[in-house]
């Protein structure tokens, strides 16, 4: 295990929990190594934490949380047996705003190789019949997620509540 500085403090992360970005995030092409962090109180949401830049994190959730479905695979994953799509959740900038997803730029995670990338789709496949009410992240990613324990007091004091991602 190696210690990494993150927005959640110093964390021990094993090599098996490190994801390599194979299709860089626009505007963040220099960032290659990431970890998925989960706080139980955040339910199905996970944080994609850069291990190259401690202040960079993105909030992710399964597309079904927003009634989205991506039946196709991105070009960088055509040889992979299995993968899991996630979407970036856009945090509200003001208390009256609502949470929404970046539906046109999902991320695709390949657990077998611990690689992921972002891809652009012309149209997401909305499907209100599949809106998920899952209480935790997808099982396909669960073993490669760093699970964090925080108290309610620590979470309340966190700068991550509104628009800080």
* Residue 132 predicted with pLDDT over 60: yes
- Strands, E, within the chain: which ranges? 2-6, 9-13, 18-23, 33-39, 46-50, 57-61, 68-69, 84-90, 100-101, 107-110, 115-118, 125-126, 145-148
pLDDT digits (tens, 9 = 90+) for 62-80: 998 998 988 888 988 877 7
Q: Where are the domains of the chain?
A: 2-156
CATH architecture under which domain 2-156 falls: Roll (2.30)
Alpha helices per DSSP H over the chain: 139-142, 152-156
pLDDT digits (tens, 9 = 90+) for 76-127: 887 777 899 999 999 888 888 888 899 999 999 999 999 999 999 987 766 6
* Residue 151 predicted with pLDDT over 50: no
Q: What is the pTM of this model?
A: 0.83
Query: pLDDT over 90 for what percent of the chain?
Result: 48
Alpha helices per DSSP H over 80-125: none
């Amino acid at each position: 295990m190696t210690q990494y500085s993150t927005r959640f403090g110093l964390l021990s992360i094993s090599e098996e929990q490190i994801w390599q970005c194979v299709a860089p995030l626009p505007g963040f092409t220099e960032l290659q190594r990431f970890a998925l962090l989960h706080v139980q109180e955040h339910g199905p949401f996970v944080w994609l934490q850069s291990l190259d830049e401690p202040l960079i994190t993105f909030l992710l959730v399964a597309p079904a949380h927003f009634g989205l479905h991506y039946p196709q695979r991105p070009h960088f994953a055509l040889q992979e047996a299995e993968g899991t799509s996630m979407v970036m959740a856009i945090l509200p900038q003001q208390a009256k705003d609502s949470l929404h997803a970046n539906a046109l730029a999902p991320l695709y995670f390949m657990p077998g190789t611990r690689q992921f990338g972002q891809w652009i789709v012309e149209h997401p496949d909305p499907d209100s019949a599949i809106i998920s009410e899952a209480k935790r992240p997808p099982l396909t990613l669960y073993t490669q997620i760093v699970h964090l324990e925080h108290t309610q007091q620590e979470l309340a004091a966190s700068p991550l509540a509104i628009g800080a991602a």
